[in-house]
Structure 1
Amino acid sequence: MHHMPRTNGMNVAVVGGGISGLAVAHHLRSRGMDAVLLESSARLGGAVGTHALAGYLVEQGPNSFLDREPATRALAAALNLEGRIRAADAAAKRRYVYTRGRLRSVPASPPAFLASDILPLSARLRVAGELFSRRAPEGMDESLAAFGRRHLGHRATQVLLDAVQTGIYAGDVEQLSVAATFPMLVKMEREHRSLILGAIRAQKAQRQAALPAGATPKLSGALSTFDGGLQVLIDALAASLGDTAHVGARVEGLAREDGGWRLIIEEHGRRAELSVAQVVLAAPAHAAAKLLRPLDDALAALVAGIAYAPIAVVHLGFDAGTLPAPDGFGFLVPAVEQRRMLGAIHASTTFPFRAEGGRVLYSCMVGGARQPGLVEQDEDALAALAREELKALAGVTARPSFTRVFRWPLGIPQYNLGHLERVAAIDASLQRLPGLHLIGNAYKGVGLNDCIRNAAQLADALVAGNTSHTP
């Protein structure tokens, strides 16, 4: 890679080979732009990865995606993977929350909610009173908890809203910004005042815009993965990039150079330099900040200030016949319960092909923003903790015959209070560094779909020659 030639000034270096970097590089190359991808570790995919072990398909990071993002479908189609998408089993529609001493089913509709025991009656009635809730004062960044208490009441916020955010952010409901984490809720409040009214009106509009007879919607909206796990997507992206994707290539420095950028790279013990017109930093925020520091200290500080919640994924596999297959997608545990587990995914129930011959696979989540210290324990301690919690919460007494632990000290970016303001300040600072772009799950969406959509938008902007695009 020593002094790669610059081809008509339009070549791009993508730094970071997680899903964001892979998707950007793929889009650029498929549109005829010359892009090279540099990943410091020995493998591509970042947090996304599937391992076939002992008759199980285990995910090291994200578990699935909602099939409702056109950009994800378009990427799958471009890679010839549409036929390999697998929707979750119908049993996964049911979800549980551990509250008041046991697992309780989350009701699927408002009438079912009023009749359910997910919350005490007084708290259910308070949620019904949401019809009369008030809007937030203009222009303040409100925590998810404060927003929830205003609309749904104290108890529903503690139990239900906290459980929902735990499943996505593993965050602290008092710290997360509602506008950054659930912008749809804020939009509904602005437009309809009441979330319930907003939901009723949205349903009505949907029914009126029903599809003509015979038309089938392309996006199922179902929780989905691929037949070999999410690794299928990573492998296809890697194959499409071929030798333009470099692993074991660490970017040590970044400097401006006559209208473009020069990268100092350490690749397999050799030092190399690369001159490019554009740089896309698709590395995690802390890694991006390190490269930005010599260029713009204030920008680097903004980027480095994005907090991450550590998370451990503990897979426990049970032989066929040792325990009944659990019902539903899984369960979540609100912080108010003060347990040592955030929740568990019933992986073999949700995607039966992920466990051979009647085996049962639980994927347990530990740590998060509220209990970061738990993730520092070694793998044996984490496996023991998950077993104890699974027994206490879900009554699982069988011995697992398979255990696999993945620890992520920098797991999930936290869109805490001030996040939108921070991202706007990052965008503004990048205007002063033409040809430099930031992308990834730290800025404008933590999910797989967000990463893929944002990558497609950035690639389109670069192809259009719009160099003012930012995360």
Structure 2
Amino acid sequence: MSVAIIGGGISGLALAHGLHSRGTEVTLLEAGPRLGGNIQSRHREGFLTEAGPNSFVDREPAVRALAASLGIEGHIRTADPSAKRRYIYTRGKLRVVPMSPPALLKSDVLPLGAKLRMMGELFTRRAPEGDESLAAFGRRHIGPKATAVLVDAMQTGIYAGDVEALSVAAIFPKVVELERQHRSLVLGMARTQAAERKALPPGEGAPRPSGAVCSFDGGLQVLVDALAKALGPVARTGVRLVGLRREGTGWRLTVEEHGQQAELAADKVVLAVPAYVAAGLLRPLDETLATRLEGISYAPVAVVHLGFAPGSTPQPDGFGFLVPSLERRRVLGVIHASATFPWRAEGGRILYTCMVGGAKRPELVEQDEEALVKLAREELRELAGVTAEPSFTEVIRWKRGIPQYNVGHLARVAAIDEDVARLPGLYLTGNAYKGVSLIDCIRGASALADSLAR
């Protein structure tokens, strides 16, 4: 069996590695000049910056298993313990995010009335029929204020989306399942934890992932480089797919490389590209499928790194802060990069990573670099009191940054799956469908590799 993978982002790379390590004949084609997609770690002027994903949460074995297979698990670094502390900018100041229900009741992140409303979660009514927005789900369970502050901030850190548009079933399926089984989330969590304690005697069971924020000592690029090295000539850059058609029981691909066209044959083809790119490739084969793929929208995001000389401004504590949209600020949130991962800033330097744009403020991403740096500096001064002049700046724009799993997403993906099933030997993978995180992409690629290898 031969497999052609189109797209050299983390999904395509992990899939290619999974198949190649099993002895499957694989060819990976990336149209751009480099592998890794939006994973790009850069070393400049004493700073290590990330252009795309900043880290991963060690909550399941997908990343560690892949790293172990590449011999780089020893390069995984856990965030500084202070990164457990996180902030939300609300009601004019940064406030610590409480990490437990009792801590929430004592904190000042919500006004008293909102905390009292949250205590009524035990009496939440059942979900209505059909898909539901994250905002509607939150309001039913914890009230409008807590939804506008806590729930909106939480999704902003993942999707940079619109809480009124995102589908709760698509982005937090485990929470929806908890409600389905127990009605109240509080009751559901209590019962689930009790059942887990009862099922597992003390001291028994396999070690669990730490749940800590992690990266690699040289940034996430370490993972990409290891995959590229393991694949060798299997992965080719600067090769663009320009045509795709069925031929017998397999596929014929027309590709362009160095201005020259050539044809390749493969038994199976996997499109590990953004949904809008897949739409363009598949339109000649299935107009309806292409239209469905184009219906998956993307939130634009600009990443603005601000670096400061040692001693020019105090080192912040904690992972960073998020800003709910009700505050009407121009940043989505800020990562305290040098506090979370101290090795990313040499010699006591300080590094902030500011996120701008998102589904609610897409126009901000269109500004030039100078304007985005000015915006980030102003917001950092007004929200966090950072007045120093940065010695280092870097701006990266993702005009189609994060896929938006809006209401109707699950039905759309189910229809896409049905359409693809009518094209034997064709598969889709990537962050547009069933999970946007690094872990989701690697887990999905691993599952597809297992399926194809069988």
Pairwise CA distance, 1:211 = 6.6
SS at match of 1:13: strand
The counterpart of 2:220, out of the listed 213, 230, 236, is 230
Partner Cα separation in structure 1 for residue 132 and residue 152 of structure 2? 15
2:302 is the counterpart of 1:293: no
Partner Cα separation in structure 2 for residue 45 and residue 202 of structure 1? 38
Instruction: State, as a whole percentage, how many aligned pairs show the same letter.
Output: 66
Name the counterpart of 2:108: 117
Partner Cα separation in structure 2 for residue 83 and residue 206 of structure 1? 31
SS at match of 2:63: helix
Pairwise CA distance, 1:196 = 1.1
Partner Cα separation in structure 2 for residue 114 and residue 246 of structure 1? 55
Partner Cα separation in structure 1 for residue 224 and residue 262 of structure 2? 26
User: What's the CA shift string for 1:270-327, capped at 9, x where partnerless?
Assistant: 2111010000000111111000000000001001110000000000001110111111
The counterpart of 2:98, out of the listed 80, 100, 107, is 107
2:87 is the counterpart of 1:93: no
2:355 is the counterpart of 1:386: no
The counterpart of 1:20, out of the listed 8, 11, 14, is 11
Name the counterpart of 1:74: 65
2:30 is the counterpart of 1:39: yes
2:453 is the counterpart of 1:445: no
Q: How many residues align?
A: 454
Name the counterpart of 2:2: 11
User: What's the CA shift string for 1:69-111, capped at 9, x where partnerless?
Assistant: 2222211110011111111110000100000000000011111
Name the counterpart of 1:6: none
Matched letter for residue 150 of structure 1? R
Name the counterpart of 2:394: 404
Partner Cα separation in structure 2 for residue 50 and residue 237 of structure 1? 15
Name the counterpart of 1:221: 211
Matched letter for residue 348 of structure 2? G
2:449 is the counterpart of 1:459: yes
Output the TM-score relative to the length of structure 2: 0.98
Matched letter for residue 175 of structure 1? A
SS at match of 2:210: coil
Partner Cα separation in structure 2 for residue 287 and residue 20 of structure 1? 15
Correspondence 1:334-373 to 2 at 5 A: 334-373=324-363
User: What's the CA shift string for 1:119-177, capped at 9, x where partnerless?
Assistant: 00010111111111111123x10000000000010000000000000000000000000
Pairwise CA distance, 1:215 = 6.7
Q: Relative to structure 2, which stretch is displaced further, 71-80 or 285-294?
A: 71-80
Name the counterpart of 1:323: 313
Name the counterpart of 2:141: 151
SS at match of 1:191: helix
Matched letter for residue 294 of structure 2? A
Name the counterpart of 1:3: none
SS at match of 2:407: coil
The counterpart of 1:164, out of the listed 145, 154, 175, is 154
2:411 is the counterpart of 1:421: yes
Partner Cα separation in structure 1 for residue 107 and residue 436 of structure 2? 31
SS at match of 2:416: helix
Matched letter for residue 110 of structure 1? P
Name the counterpart of 1:205: 195
Name the counterpart of 1:256: 246
Matched letter for residue 210 of structure 2? S
Name the counterpart of 1:56: 47
Partner Cα separation in structure 2 for residue 258 and residue 229 of structure 1? 44
Partner Cα separation in structure 2 for residue 284 and residue 153 of structure 1? 35
The counterpart of 2:424, out of the listed 434, 441, 447, is 434
